[in-house]
Amino acid sequence: MGFRKINYKGKIIKVIWKSCTDCYGMYDSNSRTLTIHPEQSNYNLAKTIYHELWHIICDLNEVDINKIGEEKTAKLSEQYVNLLKNNKRLKNFLNELY
């Protein structure tokens, strides 16, 4: 699929594109792997990636995500998709910054 690794804070997270059981994506902090179920709509895939990126950010910044909770994490992190989908100029502007 689109990418095979994520570089963040001097760490490399391996990305595996394969079917997940009972989920759309899963980040394993012990092995630093991100598994993404490839058979999703583009919209859901984007939400899944933002959600899993949030897990990676929290893990590598030593933020206890259990204090936030999985449901709140999902609702908040996935809002980037809605925000950028409804603000094309913002999305384009951000893409041009780097």
Give me 35's structure tokens. 């598994």
Strands 33-36 and 5-8: unpaired
pLDDT reported for residue 78 = 85
Q: What is the dihedral of CA 62, 48, 29, 68, to 10 degrees?
A: 40
**CATH class of residue range 5-97:** alpha beta
Q: Could you state, in order of their start, the residue ranges of all structural domains in the chain?
A: 5-97
Residue 24 backbone phi and psi in degrees, to 5: -100, -20
SS3 state at 20: coil
Q: Tens place of pLDDT for every residue, the chain, 98 residues?
A: 679 999 999 999 999 999 988 899 999 999 999 999 999 999 999 999 999 999 999 999 998 888 888 888 888 888 888 888 889 999 898 889 87
Helix (H) or strand (E) holding 59: helix 42-60
Radius of gyration of the chain (CA): 14
